């Protein structure tokens, strides 16, 4: 089955780009969104910490936490927004927290740190915002650029991990000491709780410890909503409406991580629809082709640069080095191809001589990825 990337994304309502950091996930997400907007769909791309040059390529001053329309000529509409963790968590609190604890959570100092800086909150915010956009029904396609991670499902597991963490016996001991009181064998522990709290108060400050306990107690009222939302996200991403696209570069170690993502997502019954490999050295002659006519090439270059024979030699050396890079890239890609079923397309973008910083560069990447699709 020779499935094309263009056919795959054309049938989906949610496309999630996963992969390690620094492999071009954000740019790939924007290119996929641009492709579908050019086809006439209403598309939004949700990005994580995008570079300013990408915003400029889309004609935006910068990305914000509010959806902005990209004013490029196209059949459909393209919208873009950046993940705002604080705003996302505030909306969760507004939706799920009881009236009597809502303001208590929002004004809590620990919550303000939790909603912007704690490990795992970015992954949760990404899954929450994705589902909010899906439920709104405003877009034909949502393209999500996930946070850089070595664990493919971190952002899917985040709601469960949050609930498990705050529900743990260790933390409940701080804000629900009565949970342990009265249980057989817990009397001594219960009596010792106040002593340990006093020690912790001296070390951390009584006010900070009190705020932490208040935050945990108030935030625990959101657990049912968090778990319900997490289940809904998992169900959505397990349907035919959604697909994962693994983004990588032709570095052997990074491709190994990409293969891990495929195994992890597949084991979780989610579907990887395709791989996109960026920065592949594709142009130029192969090494064996370059070796055969090397004398002729050298003669031609010497003729062109008769007064600068050193320049001709450098050009030949550069061509040979590029051919070596090309050979290495394609060897690594063939190894990946051997690990991935043939029906999953592995397509690639050639190595560009400069970063994408304008609309022309973005369109060039779209053309190479879709109109001039190259696959392994």
What DSSP string describes 202-223? HHH-HHHHHHHHHHHHHHGGGH
pLDDT of residue 17: 92
pLDDT of residue 163: 53
Each residue of 202-249: pLDDT tens digit? 444 456 556 666 666 666 666 667 777 777 888 888 899 999 999 999
Q: State percent of the chain over pLDDT 70.
A: 68
Each residue of 286-323: pLDDT tens digit? 555 555 555 555 566 566 555 555 666 677 777 788 88
Each residue of 31-47: pLDDT tens digit? 999 999 999 999 999 98
Residue 53 pLDDT greater than 60, yes or no: yes
Residue 73: count other Cβ atoms within 10 Å of its Cβ: 6
**Beta strands in the chain, from DSSP E residues, in sequence order:** 14-18, 42-47, 68-69, 77-82, 141-145, 242-248, 272-280, 346-350
The larger pLDDT score, comparing residue 266 to residue 71, is at 71
Residue 59 pLDDT greater than 80, yes or no: yes
Taking the CA atoms of residue 287, residue 290, residue 295 and residue 297 in that order, the dihedral angle to the nearest 10 degrees is -150
Cα separation, 49 vs 31, whole angstroms: 16
Residue 162 pLDDT greater than 80, yes or no: no
Least confident of 155-159, 238-242, 251-255: 155-159
| b/e per residue 326-336 (b: at least 16 CB within 10 A) | beebbebbeeb
pLDDT of residue 192: 43
Distances (CA, A) of 215 to 185, 218, 223, 251: 28, 5, 13, 44
- Averaged pLDDT score across all residues of the chain: 78
Give which of 268, 212, 270 is closest to 243, Cα–Cα. Answer: 270
Mean pLDDT of 122-148: 87
The order of strands in the sheet holding 141-145 is 68-69, 77-82, 42-47, 141-145, 14-18, 242-248, 272-280, 346-350
| b/e per residue 212-242 (b: at least 16 CB within 10 A) | bbbbbbbbbbbbebbbebbeebbebbeeeeb
**Token pair listed for 304:** 């062109």
Cα 35 to chain centroid, rounded: 19
Mean pLDDT of 325-329: 91
The larger pLDDT score, comparing residue 56 to residue 223, is at 56
**First-residue to last-residue Cα distance in the chain:** 14
pLDDT of residue 124: 75
Each residue of 87-101: pLDDT tens digit? 888 887 888 788 878
Round the CA-based radius of gyration of the chain to a whole number and report it: 26
Check if the beta carbon of residue 145 is closer than 8 Å to that of residue 26: yes
| Helix residue spans in 167-286 (DSSP H) | 169-175, 187-204, 206-219, 223-237, 252-267
Distances (CA, A) of 331 to 28, 289, 328, 365: 23, 17, 5, 23
Cα separation, 85 vs 67, whole angstroms: 14
What global pTM score does this model have?
0.78
What's the pLDDT band for 11 if we cut at 50, 70, 90? very high
Check if the beta carbon of residue 27 is closer than 8 Å to that of residue 358: no
């Amino acid at each position: 089955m020779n499935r094309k990337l263009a056919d795959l994304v054309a049938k989906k309502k949610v496309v999630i780009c996963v992969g390690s950091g620094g492999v071009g996930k954000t740019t790939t997400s924007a290119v996929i969104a641009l492709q579908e907007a050019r086809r006439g769909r209403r598309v939004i791309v949700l990005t994580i910490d995008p570079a300013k040059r990408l915003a400029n390529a889309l004609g935006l001053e910068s990305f914000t936490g509010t959806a902005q329309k990209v004013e490029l000529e196209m059949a459909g509409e393209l919208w873009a927004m950046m993940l705002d963790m604080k705003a996302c968590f505030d909306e969760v609190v507004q939706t799920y927290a009881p009236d009597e604890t809502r303001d208590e959570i929002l004004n809590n100092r620990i919550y303000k740190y939790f909603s912007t800086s704690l490990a795992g909150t970015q992954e949760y915010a990404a899954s929450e915002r994705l589902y909010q956009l899906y439920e709104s029904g405003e877009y034909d396609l949502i393209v999500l650029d996930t946070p850089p991670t070595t664990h493919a499902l971190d952002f899917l597991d985040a709601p469960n991990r949050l609930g498990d963490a705050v529900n743990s016996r260790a933390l409940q001991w701080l804000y629900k000491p009565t949970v342990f009181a009265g249980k057989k064998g817990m009397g001594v522990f219960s009596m010792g709780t106040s002593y340990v709290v006093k020690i912790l108060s001296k070390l951390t400050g009584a006010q900070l410890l009190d705020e932490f306990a208040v935050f945990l107690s108030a935030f625990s009222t959101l657990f049912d909503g968090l778990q319900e939302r997490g289940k809904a996200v998992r169900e959505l991403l397990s349907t035919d409406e959604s697909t994962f696209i693994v983004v990588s570069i032709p570095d052997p170690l990074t491709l190994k991580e990409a293969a891990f993502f495929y195994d992890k997502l597949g084991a979780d019954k989610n579907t990887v629809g395709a791989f996109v490999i960026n920065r592949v050295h594709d142009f130029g002659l192969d090494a064996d082709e370059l070796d055969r006519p090397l004398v002729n090439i050298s003669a031609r270059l010497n003729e062109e640069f008769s007064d600068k024979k050193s320049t001709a030699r450098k050009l030949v050396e550069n061509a040979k080095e590029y051919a070596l890079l090309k050979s290495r890239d394609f060897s690594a890609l063939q190894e990946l191809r051997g690990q991935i079923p043939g029906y999953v397309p592995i397509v690639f973008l050639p190595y560009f001589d400069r970063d994408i910083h304008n609309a022309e560069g973005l369109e060039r990447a779209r053309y190479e990825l879709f109109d001039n699709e190259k696959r392994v």
